[in-house]
Chains A and B, each alone.
Chain A
Amino acid sequence: MKRLLKGGRVVDPVNGRDGIFDVLIDGDRISAVGTNLTADGAEVINIPAGLVVVPGLIDMHVHLREPGQEHKETVATGVASAVAGGFTAVACMPNTKPVNDNAGVTKLILQKAAEANLARVYPIGAVSRGQKGEELADIAELKEAGCVAVTDDGLPVATAILARRALEYTSMFNMPVIEHCEDQTLKGDGVAHEGPVAASLGLRGIPGVAEAITAGRDILLAEMTGGHIHIAHMSAWTTIEAVRQGKSRGVKVTCEVCPHHFTLTDDLLAAPVAYDTNTKMNPPLREARDRDAMIAGIVDGTVDVISTDHAPHHYDEKNVEFDRAPFGIVGLETAVPITLDKLVHTGLITLSRMVELMSVNPAKILNVPGGSLSPGAPADITILALELLVTVDKAKLVSKSKNTPFHGWSFKGGVAATIVGGRTVYSNPAAGMQ
């Protein structure tokens, strides 16, 4: 079965393309990209003006919650949310119950993903057994079962020695260690960024350097071992500075930033809704200096990836006192609108750079297919609607959970369609797609 995406703007940085091209899909693969392509018997899909065809977006940091916390999200609802947000693949964190520290859990997740048959799912295994920070998990077994990276996300790798061993051990498998950077002693029982806002709200603080200290530790260890460290969800200006220095020395360090950290500051904890638990996530929203450093890092190339840290929590769990609420917000369905509105339409980055951040680089870091529209590549395609006005309505989110701080916000730019393996798994009538 052939499908021809006809006459749309195609942005494919790996192949140096940004222009009007046709994309021919043969089965589940890209067959050709060119001008005036024809194919006998192909289903022709005309791409309206204003829509852009890009390699499928990959979110390398999501929590699908299954197994164990299916009241927040399941693999099936998570991938439905992903494709509605324009993601053709997601990598899911191992802090499930039980922890994904063995092949059994990995295979369960992959089986659920196969049943859902929407976005591709790449499980990420635990660094340490039970994420307890004591001994290494069976990483070779995890790799064999389908894990593409390891992390103790939710927590940092507990000790420098364990981080060292993980970096050494994973280097045998060409897998990154993804680090949730946070010195636990400095974090203490903090619930918000340590600064004037937390001081005036009477919330216990988490200083920015709690993140940078662990990042600094791991960058030095990556330099020493030759391992690949990936710094997850950066929030503090000091962290990005540590990454910048590491990169300048040639350390194998990559990093990611989430849309909320390049958009929001901790002022949102105080107003318009004081103590809104949907402004509580870890790492926390920080100050303008931090937020601006994230944008600067995205613009200057220090930042490799935009990920969402999609962290669904049930309404009941968030409808409590601020300090008792769990950390985290959903992000899969708001990432594209925020990125297009705040970074692309403002002229801070090009569409091509956005594709690098959300498709090319995550594929490269995780060593998974995708990231380009090269002939022979999987036909994973996202069609963006640049001018579409998107107003976030939490009630309409596809995710099982609705914990977003962006409810009621409007953004210019959205998703028109999502194609995985040649099959349209999401299309948005509002963007002119059938």
Chain B
Amino acid sequence: MLTTLRHKHLLGIADLSPDEIVLVLDTAEAMKEVGQRTIKKVPTLRGRTVINLFFEPSTRTRTSFEIAEKRLSADTLNVAIASSSVVKGETLVDTAMNLEAMAPSMIVLRHASSGACHLLSRICKASIVNAGDGMHEHPTQALLDAFTIRERKGRLGGLKVAIVGDLLHSRVLRSNVLLLTKLGADVWVCAPATLIPPGLKQMGVTVTTRVDEAVAGADVIMMLRIQLERMQGAFFPSQREYFSTFGMTEARVARAKPDVIIMHPGPINRGVEIASEVADGPHSVILDQVANGVAVRMAVLYLLAGEPQNNAAAD
């Protein structure tokens, strides 16, 4: 039975095998138990330094990583764009090499450029954890989504999962498609034709522009945020028209299985991609996703840390 990950870094779901994904999910169950104790702390990463390097604003993901690190007793620090050398014109490579010189065990990176984590993984000794790179991947989001689905449904294989929203710009989409197809889910993706990247079909999903078709009989409906700041390019005529054509309403949810769960990676735009009645309704597991995010990130950090370092030096 698999007990460790085969890669030093978590750059994306693309690198993970199905048994590695299951290992993360199983480990996260144990970590979730830690979070339910009165004293929510284990010594697992004591003496390890983890740097959260965030080049994009993030509340949920950064907080979730930080709590996960603290619960594992790591020494953590946050480097945010506004307070970093980058505003002085330093390159990502130079920033990373300087942080690397201080010998962190892990760097959790959020960056606007796809592939930024790959770049760092080639120059850093530290393990790189992708906390979202451009339009590429957001692997811990997909892992926490999978954890949440498995918790509710007991499995992933054979489930119909409908993903609706901005497919073109979404890193959450790419990671989820990779993960869900690896574990045998029946994945449907739905968006206006202007927000469907060419080549998506080759990723093993059913692509449709009809939301009713996507959600019909679905076990899981996963909404993706419409990034209003990106919609300047006239991908659709108006927010109003988007909501009337693709917005997740109670009427649309009614076409899914009676026990469907509604997911959203946040932050949500109420009344744009999802009706408040749905986001706050009985099928919503949106806040469970947030809660599970801590456990899943603890599992990832724990597994990437591997055996305690510097054993030889201690002898």
Contacts and interface: CB of A to CB of B under 8 A. Distances in A.
Contacts of A319: 91, 93
A194 interface: yes
Interface string B90-117: 0111000000000000000001011110
A202 B198 contact: no
A97 interface: no
Interface in B182-234: 197-200, 202-203, 233
Assign chain B's interface to a size class. 20 to 34
Given A320-B92, A321-B92, A200 B14 contact: yes
Given A319-B91, A320-B93, A196 B115 contact: no
A240 to B, nearest CB: 20
B92 A195 contact: no
A275 B116 CA distance: 9
A201 interface: yes
Interface string A203-218: 1110100000000000
Contacts of B136: 201-203
B202 A321 contact: no
A324 B118 contact: no
Given A320-B93, A323-B134, A324-B113, A199 B119 contact: no
B193 to A, nearest CB: 14
Contacts of B122: 273
Given A204-B135, A320-B93, A321-B92, A199 B114 contact: no
Contact of B115 (A188, A199, A201, A204): A201
A275 B198 contact: no
B175 to A, nearest CB: 10
A322 interface: yes
Contacts of A321: 92, 111, 113, 115-116, 119
Contacts of A195: 198-199
A127 interface: no
A199 B200 contact: yes
B171 A196 contact: no
A207 B199 CA distance: 12
B135 to A, nearest CB: 4
A198 interface: yes
B114 A323 contact: yes
Contacts of B114: 201-203, 275, 322-323
Contacts of B137: 202
B42 to A, nearest CB: 34
Nearest to B233: A188
Nearest to B11: A274
Contacts of A273: 122
Interface in B117-148: 118-119, 122, 133-137
B142 to A, nearest CB: 13
A417 interface: no
7 contacts: A196-B203, A198-B197, A201-B115, A202-B133, A202-B171, A204-B135, A324-B113
Interface of B: 14, 91-93, 111, 113-116, 118-119, 122, 133-137, 171, 174, 197-200, 202-203, 233
